[in-house]
Amino acid sequence: MKDHAQYADALALYAMDALDDRQELAELEAHLGTCGECRRELEALRADTALLALSATGPQPPQRARLRLMQAVGAEPRRAEMKKPKLVMGRLQPRWLSLVPMAAAIVLAIASFTLLREVQGLKDRNASLRGRIDDLSKQNEHARVMLELLRNPKAEQLTLVSTANRPQPQMKTFYDREKGRVLLFASNAAQLPDDKVYELWLIPMNGAAPMPAGTFSPDNSGGGMIMHQFDTQGIQAKIFAVTIEPRGGSQTPTMPIVMAPAS
């Protein structure tokens, strides 16, 4: 059997996960399981590698990394440290001894009831947190897709303006042909009757029928947004255009086109 000194060099490699001789590795791990001295030396060697890591310090992370971390921390489920119940020790007086079983049963019943309520409360909280995580995940995915589309240099952008002689209404589309996604932002859009919505259409380059690309109702300031995923990717768009349709949208556009590309 080897002694500590014979493991010394292998231990230094092991501290850096650099020992790749399987037999040697197995022998060393078996030895570590029984040798406190070598385990302590391994911990000291890890500290030595940490000193080596210091030679790399200098560059500072960008500010956005801090923001990203703190946002991630904020989005994590809240937690509080588990509180340990206090253990109370006492001595029973002899005259109460006969009542002990009954008292214990009562205490047990109360404790069980309290525990059941706590368990139910925790279950409710768990379900609520799970729901919140799901909501946040959906929001996050939505935001990620939007951001990806906005940042994509290949996204085809068009600014749609009013075809009538009314100034101001403006709609901007971002189309990612490869992924079949389109995003529309509207501003100053005219208000519509309650039973009408604006509907976006992709007019394909190949002369195929216009494809519905989502609807929106403008808010009080005329703003609105659509993010639409087409079932088919790669469709080359001749233009995007907007019509007014019954609430719920249509499968074919109702003329006239109210918004179309500026050029």
Partner 1 sequence: MRVSGTQASNTKDEGALIARIRAGDESAMSELYDGYSGIVYGVALRVLGDTTAAEDVLQEVFLQLWRNPQAFSADRGRLAPWLAVIARNRAIDLLRKRPFEEDISELPIAAKVNLEDESARRLAMEKVRGVLAGLPQEQRKSLEMAFFEGMTHSEIAGKTGEPLGTVKTRIRAGLLALRKAFA
**Under the rule (CB under 8 A), what is the footprint of partner 1?**
8-13, 15-21, 40, 43-62, 65-66, 68-70, 72-74, 76, 78-81
Minimum Å gap between C-beta 84 and partner 1 is 13
Comparison of 72 and 255: residue with beta carbon closer to partner 1 = 72
Residues facing 247 on adjacent strands: none
- For residue 171, give the 3-state DSSP assignment: strand
Residue 201 dihedral angles phi and psi, to the nearest 5°: -130, 140
Comparison of 81 and 231: residue with beta carbon closer to partner 1 = 81
Comparison of 63 and 220: residue with beta carbon closer to partner 1 = 63
Comparison of 65 and 209: residue with beta carbon closer to partner 1 = 65
Minimum Å gap between C-beta 24 and partner 1 is 10
CA angle at residue 244 from 260 to 230, to 5 degrees? 70
- Measured between alpha carbons, how far is 120 from 19 in angstroms, rounded to an integer? 50
Minimum Å gap between C-beta 51 and partner 1 is 5
Minimum Å gap between C-beta 75 and partner 1 is 10
Residues facing 138 on adjacent strands: none
DSSP secondary structure letter of residue 208: P
DSSP secondary structure letter of residue 200: E
